[in-house]
Structure 1
Amino acid sequence: MKRGKLAMMITSFILIFSVPAGCGKTADAPGNTNGNLSNGGLAVLQDEWVYFSKFEEGSIKLYKIKTDGSGEAKVSDAAAMYLNAAGDWIYYIDGMEYKMYKVKTDGTGKSKLSDDLTASMAVLNDWIYYINLGGKTVNPKLCKIRTDGSEMTELGGDTPSAFSIDGGWIYFVNASDESRLYRMKTDGTKKEKLGDDTVTAMIADDGWIYYISSGDSKFYKMKTDGTGKAAVGDDTATLMNVDGGWIYYANGSDEDRLYKMKTDGSGKAKVSDDLAAGINIAGDWIYYINFSMETFSMKQIKIKTDGTGRTEIADLSAQPAQTEYGEIYDVEDEITVGDITYTFGTAYATNVMRSSTDPAFDAAIFFDETEEVYLFINVTATNNGSKAAKIGTYSFGLGEEYEGSVIVSFCRLADANLATLATDQFTEWMTLEPGQTAEYKLFFTPQHVNNAYKVYLYESTMEMPDYTTAVATVKDIKAEVELYTTRGKAFAVLQERFPESKIEEGGAFGYRMEADPADKVYYLFKVHGADSTMQYYFVKQETGEIYIGSYDENRPDFPAVPRELLEQK
């Protein structure tokens, strides 16, 4: 379930885009610990200040706070992640652009360092080491660049999915060799393989490499020369942080709750019952994202390393108030770029993703949802020229001004299904013959309700999109909204009706009642009474109504089906 644009950013950057990287503790001057950078670099300690990424207002902002908890202040509105502190500067990746920036610790002097699309970065002395996703390289490559943005240099020819720097060596998970561990010098020389284990996460720290094996999802360590391999503890995990002789991790053996243990596997202790992701350490504090499947909430938390002082920093689940049902909005605008004319037809927004993207809203089953809205705009492209034209991956921006717009993509209408929308695979090029017309659907990731948007059209090349010049502008678009009950709201409806009962979610599926013309989506819940009884209830996605459920022998694949509408109090 998507929980809106902010949740997508978190998933994208902490769990997916968060390619582990960083600087181990060396005699050099690292910009952050390797462990933090392995978890998105959401916090960094410098002297008496903690600089951290704070989730607020549907985005990420750069903040700072003193280690004693005083003096919290915003440094920048930038969506800053992979934070590295060096001198008077904070180096970071902008989470909206995937590009490297730096800004002074007082918020002044912001400047872009490179146009390379970047996943993961680590500052060491006057160099920035990073994974280059595009630009001057074809496949992702490990590169370095001066902290002033000069002397971009490619290091080696492999594709890394994770890297750490320790003692003059770069340790990396080599995606070119099935995610096995390698190392090379920081100038790219003396590459060598360290072992045959396949790895999902790794951190080099103080002469050791700590990693999670993809084979059994357990912890191991080895010396940085590849010798001395040993198991660490017996828990499973998908992410970890190493700091001060301790491993902090989401314990897969206990539903991803926050734990710690010493680097030799002793001293295991639960830090919090929270389900944790994006674990960052700054002094005596742990910063992390807590997912709660009981309340359908997502919060940014900090807690002392001994488990005390739990403090909520931000509620990522908070959403703006939403409007009632709306209608399709006619854009009816047309622009021409070169020989191609783009005709904009209708625009609509909804908080569910459908099995069909038909703008007439005649699809029956909805597979995904958000507490905000998805925005769709229907477009046709016509080749008015005398030669064939290749089109496909064009980019659009949303925002009141070009500099503040969000870059998104669109695909052919025939390709606009859940699978492609969910994976952002809108990259097929197609050829328009002279006079030929093709249909497209612009798809914008969750946006706030009631916002008016300008849509800017930019041309793209087959190598890299060019976002520098607005070729043409469409008038302001304010799409009307059609809203449905989300899982979170369904849970809240049942909590209000049964305040003294324990409620468990049981999934969502399509079912056609006798009065329904087609299958509708119902959310299934178990409601446990005080007398130890249990009753199945369903909440209808379309209306938010509660239905009593029971087993149906004709539907043995369902634990229950909706039977009758629960009378309102």
Structure 2
Amino acid sequence: MSKLKKFLSTILIVGVVITCGFTKSVEGASVYGNSNSNISNGGYAVANGSYSYIRSSKTYKETKGANYYYIYRTYKNGSTKKQIVNNAAEEPYINVVGNYMYYVGVYDSGKSYGIYRVKTDGTGKTKLISNYGYNSIIVKDNYLYYVKESINSSNDEVASLCRYNLSTKKTVSTLYTTTTRYIDDMSLSGDYIYIVATGSNNSMVYKINTKTKTRTTVYKYESGTKEESYIDDMVYYKGNIYYTVYNDKDPYNENDDTCQVYKVSSTGKNNKLLSKYFTTSINLYNDKMYYINTNDSICSMNLDGSSRKTIKKASENQWHHVINIANSRMYFGTIAFDQYNGLSHSIYRTTLSGSSMTKM
């Protein structure tokens, strides 16, 4: 399920931060299409060498269904902007590996989504998968991981985590299938993919071997009978899983929401609360955590939850959302009401300290 769609359907607006990081793996041999944190936040931006690829604020086409957006390539300082595609989805989940960019795009006059591949110079665009359910995608080396949605013979909704070979252009394995949960955030590290699978009473963090399909439970969050409570963000970073638990105790009270951030090892040990304060849309970069606070402002803190500070305050009638970091620049979304109470959605670039702001 699209994180933006899920959140907007419940409280209209949310703050998120887009952090686009490195694509070169610390393992040396493997190349990742984007950072786990960026994918968790919609994949609006990614770094690849001296270039950054960013979804634009400007729409190419507005439809009654989904809007079409541009993806631009720029040098890391923001210069020499080049259009790569003009059919990116609102949350495009951009990945770049080698000479190709992968993203979720829009087609059929905004009625459908697909997974696309295009050369990094904007040529040779190909639709790899049609009728996609607008979920996240993530690429490592020659494989793309995606969520397939379908209906079985019993008329149940089925969600399947799949592995797609980019050379043969075929789905080669199904790693996990469920009829009782939806599959949300995914993170990759080595031979493992970590996912959140959320059901009616609990959220599971699973660790799945991408070769053997062996699945283990890293953490189980019991929401019980609470009105709305689930694991919202989940990011694998340097041997640990960082996740947030969102809880809306009273759906009629807009001021009682909580969202606390935790850390647990990738083996499921040492689960720890890092901060009791409202923390959402987490993005981990260079041993810092960037996030949105209860005032919809962009903030940072240390990985142990200390030294929380505000980087960019949200002004009146404005909400920051989605943080990505590419080439040490932060890209974040802003949703604002205009004088006629209409909504506008823009992407901005700033430094990690928030000292400048440029609309993309």
Q: TM-score range by the shorter chain?
A: 0.7 to 0.9
Partner of 1:146: 165
Residues of 2 paired with 1:10 and 1:127: CA distance? 23
Partner of 1:165: 188
Letter in 1 for 2:311: V
Letter in 2 for 1:150: K
Residues of 2 paired with 1:161 and 1:61: CA distance? 25
Residues of 2 paired with 1:128 and 1:31: CA distance? 9
Partner of 1:101: 116
- Label 1:292 to 1:151 Cα distance change in 2 as closer, same or farther (>3 A): closer
CA contact (8 A) 1:248 1:261 kept: yes
Residues of 1 paired with 2:284 and 2:259: CA distance? 17
Residues of 2 paired with 1:299 and 1:106: CA distance? 24
Residues of 1 paired with 2:176 and 2:93: CA distance? 23
Residues of 2 paired with 1:203 and 1:284: CA distance? 19
Tell whether 2:224 aligns with 1:204: no
Q: Which of 63, 69, 72 is the matching residue for 1:60?
A: 69
- Label 1:214 to 1:11 Cα distance change in 2 as closer, same or farther (>3 A): closer
CA contact (8 A) 1:83 1:91 kept: yes
CA contact (8 A) 2:162 2:171 kept: no
Residues of 2 paired with 1:127 and 1:155: CA distance? 13
SS in 2 for 1:36: helix
Number of positions where the alignment pairs a residue of Structure 1 with one of Structure 2: 300
CA contact (8 A) 2:118 2:126 kept: yes
| C-alpha RMSD over aligned residues | 2.8
Residues of 1 paired with 2:3 and 2:204: CA distance? 27
CA contact (8 A) 2:203 2:220 kept: no
TM-score, structure 1 as length reference: 0.49
Partner of 1:117: 132
CA contact (8 A) 1:116 1:135 kept: no
Partner of 2:287: 245
Show structure 1 runs of 5+ residues with no match: 1-8, 314-569
Q: Per-residue CA shift, 1:274-319, capped at 9, x if unaligned?
A: 3311211112211111123575543321111111121122xxxxxx
Question: What are the within-5 Å matches in structure 2 for residues 441-452 of structure 1?
Answer: none
Residues of 1 paired with 2:327 and 2:185: CA distance? 24
Letter in 1 for 2:104: I
Partner of 1:185: 209
Structure with the higher helix share, 1 or 2: 1
SS in 1 for 2:213: coil
Partner of 1:126: 142
Q: Which of 201, 208, 219 is the matching residue for 2:261?
A: 219
Shift of 1:233: 2.7
CA contact (8 A) 1:115 1:135 kept: no
Tell whether 2:316 aligns with 1:259: no
Letter in 2 for 1:213: V
Residues of 2 paired with 1:56 and 1:39: CA distance? 19
Q: Per-residue CA shift, 1:252-287, capped at 9, x if unaligned?
A: 2xx211111121212321110133112111122111
- Label 1:67 to 1:94 Cα distance change in 2 as closer, same or farther (>3 A): same
CA contact (8 A) 2:144 2:163 kept: yes
CA contact (8 A) 1:128 1:146 kept: yes
- Label 1:162 to 1:68 Cα distance change in 2 as closer, same or farther (>3 A): closer
CA contact (8 A) 1:25 1:205 kept: no
When structure 1 is superposed on structure 2, of 152-161 and 93-102 the one drifting more is 152-161
Show structure 2 runs of 5+ residues with no match: 10-15, 63-67, 222-229, 248-257
Letter in 2 for 1:196: K
Question: What are the within-5 Å matches in structure 2 for residues 431-446 of structure 1?
Answer: none
Partner of 1:31: 33
CA contact (8 A) 1:25 1:33 kept: no
Residues of 1 paired with 2:41 and 2:96: CA distance? 16
Q: Which of 275, 283, 287 is the matching residue for 1:233?
A: 275
Structure 1 outlier segments of 4+, above 6 Å: none
Q: Which of 151, 156, 160 is the matching residue for 2:176?
A: 156
Residues of 2 paired with 1:276 and 1:116: CA distance? 30
Residues of 2 paired with 1:262 and 1:106: CA distance? 37
Letter in 2 for 1:153: S
Residues of 2 paired with 1:189 and 1:163: CA distance? 15
- Label 1:164 to 1:11 Cα distance change in 2 as closer, same or farther (>3 A): closer
TM-score, structure 2 as length reference: 0.76
Residues of 2 paired with 1:292 and 1:116: CA distance? 31
Partner of 1:91: 102
CA contact (8 A) 2:323 2:330 kept: yes
Residues of 1 paired with 2:114 and 2:74: CA distance? 25
- Label 1:15 to 1:33 Cα distance change in 2 as closer, same or farther (>3 A): farther
When structure 1 is superposed on structure 2, of 185-194 and 203-212 the one drifting more is 185-194
Residues of 1 paired with 2:136 and 2:45: CA distance? 14
Partner of 1:69: 78
